[in-house]
């Protein structure tokens, strides 16, 4: 495993139809979106997930936790946690959950500002949301001494 501070991270925006994916470098605190993973009722094609893991060789997974606005858990929170546990179970790579409240709304706003028009269900903002989730994870540790 890489030294804390220089880890490669794969982040996921869990969804029932599509799972957004982003990759980032902890040292640079930078993230970029990857092609989303299609899902059927929240279940991804695990062979596509395996290809991403093999390609990027992450040291950590980060999964967005879709809490209700009051901070309480939702049905989607439970499903996202289950997805995170499955990632850990399949690959043995640690997984951290990050509060993602507002990430989809912010992702849609970013897409609109970038000139994307039309139906977000078709175009998707899942990758942008995954980037925001990972950036939120980076921000949690800004200014803290190395772990």
Token pair 């893991």 is found at: 53
What angle in degrees, to the nearest 10, is found between the helix axes of 75-91 and 46-56? Answer: 60
Domain boundaries, given as residue ranges, for the chain = 8-140
What pLDDT sits at residue 146?
Answer: 42
DSSP class of residue 49 equals H
CA angle, 1 then 139 then 22, to 5° = 60
**Per-residue pLDDT for the chain (147 aa), expressed as one digit of tens each?**
556 567 999 999 999 999 999 999 998 889 999 999 999 999 999 999 999 999 999 999 999 999 888 889 999 999 999 999 999 999 999 999 998 876 666 655 655 666 655 544 445 678 888 999 999 999 886 654 443
On whether the 8-140 domain is CATH 3.30.420.140, my answer is yes
* pTM of structure: 0.83
> How far is residue 20's CA from residue 98's CA, in Å, rounded to a whole number?
14
d(CA 104, CA 31): 16
């Amino acid at each position: 495993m890489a030294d804390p501070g220089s880890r490669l991270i794969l982040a996921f925006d869990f969804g029932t139809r599509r799972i957004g994916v982003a990759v980032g470098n902890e040292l640079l605190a930078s993230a970029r979106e990857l092609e989303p993973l299609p899902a059927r009722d929240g279940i991804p094609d695990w062979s596509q997930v395996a290809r991403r893991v093999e390609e990027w060789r992450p040291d950590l997974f980060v999964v967005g936790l879709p809490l209700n606005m009051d901070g309480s858990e939702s049905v989607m929170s439970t499903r996202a946690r289950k997805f995170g546990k499955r990632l850990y179970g399949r690959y043995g790579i640690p997984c951290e959950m990050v509060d993602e409240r507002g990430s989809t709304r912010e992702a849609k706003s970013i897409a609109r500002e970038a000139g994307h028009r039309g139906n977000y269900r078709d175009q998707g903002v899942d990758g942008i949301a995954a980037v925001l989730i990972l950036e939120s994870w980076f921000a949690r540790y800004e200014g803290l001494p190395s772990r």
